[in-house]
Amino acid sequence: MKLKQISVIIMLIFILIITGCGKRSSEEEPSTIKTNFVMGTMVTVTVYGENRNEVAREVLDELDRIEKLMSINLDDSEIIRVNKNAGIKPVKVSDDTYKVVQTACEFAEKTDGLFDPSVGPLVQLWGIGSKNARVPSKEEIAQVLPLINYKNIILNEREKTIYLSKPGMIIDVGGIAKGYAADRGVEIFKQHNVKYGYVNIGGNVIVHGAKPDKSLWKIGVQDPRAPKRGDLMGVIEMHDQAIVTSGDYERYYTDKNGKRYHHILNPKTGYPAEAGLISASTIGDNSLRADALSTSVFLLGAEKGQQLAEKEGFKVILITDKKKVIKSSELGDKFEITVEGYTP
């Protein structure tokens, strides 16, 4: 009898060991991680919860849809049609495209035209990031500058039309379309009652909820002077917020003398922005606005940039060309510098 009891106990112990093993791996909430190339960059969608596969798929499809509306690197899109009809006629667009262009114009107004969606002709002239990248002549720059003026983007809210009033104008919203797409991703999360997840569109990150274990998401901020993408200078903790970083290291062209020209162009001078910043991150609850703001702040410089962002209800982490780090006091100890060489 005793031996039988012992054997039963041994059985139970082994059953516990085995089921225990199974439990441990299922205790951690399963997630779906999908990556793809969309909008000219690498996109990662991470979703937890029951319908995670379908939701991740739906988010990627939505990003694809937005790219087809707003890209200028395709054969056709709403923005391409708007550009083709510059000086000819207004073009009716989707609510999505309208909202993005309208937001761009709003920040053009707020930055006095430093951030300007009609910067397209200048972007094409430099071609930074493409094979045709080069330093244009002063004459070439002088020729395209008069085409850049957000005041010549005529928006009709009721008809949802966009009209570029000068022939040759080109609007380019490729940058902030990514911010809009990230917001749409989180809206899809909410429609499906997804509690936790994030969308990362080439470094534009929006997190939804906190992590399944209730801790905050930890987001690394790129070290703008590290040789490698993915080397961090600091870490920020957050939930339910977007972070967008603009920097001079993302895309650039090096001429034969070794001089570097980055991709954030100042439409007043025609040359890459030189406002004393090498990186500008903006943090807030809306990725579209965070995106417009990070470029705006980069162009405005530390002081004016921080003022504008905070007035808009966003927080900033700025890195100057002297590697000094300026952050919104509201961030407190949520942001931490993790490498040597950067001083608060």
Residues that bind another protein (CB under 8 A): 1-4, 7, 10-11, 14-15, 17-18, 21-22, 35-37, 40-42, 44, 46, 129-131, 133, 198, 200, 202-205, 207, 211, 217-222, 227-230, 232, 235, 243-245, 247, 249-251, 281, 338
Q: Please report which residue ranges of 208-301 form alpha helices under DSSP H.
A: 287-300
- Least Å distance, CB 18 to another protein, is 5
Across 271-307, b (16+ Cβ under 10 Å) vs e yields: ebbebebbbbbbbbebbbbbbbbbbbbbbbbbebbbe
Q: What are residue 73's phi and psi, to 5 degrees?
A: -105, 20
Residue closer to another protein, measured from CB, 4 or 311:
4
Minimum CB–partner distance for residue 175 and another protein (Å): 14
From the CB of 202, what's the least distance to another protein, in Å? 8
Between 90 and 272, whose beta carbon lies closer to another protein? 272
Enumerate residues 6+ apart whose C-beta is below 8 A from 77: 68, 69, 70, 71
From residue 336, how far is each of 108, 123, 236, 343 by CA, in Å? 32, 35, 6, 11
Q: How far apart are CA 102 and CA 92, in angstroms?
A: 14
The least CB distance from residue 209 to another protein, in Å, is 12
DSSP character string of 174-210? HHHHHHHHHHHHHHHHHHTT--SEEEEETTEEEEESS
**CB of 2 or CB of 256, closer to another protein:** 2
Cβ 290 to another protein shortest distance, Å:
10
Pick 40 or 341: Cβ nearer another protein: 40
Nearer to another protein, 1 or 258 (CB): 1
- Shortest distance in whole angstroms from residue 329 CB to another protein: 20
Q: Around Cβ 259, how many Cβ atoms within 10 Å? A: 9
With respect to another protein, which residue has the nearer C-beta, 155 or 235?
A: 235
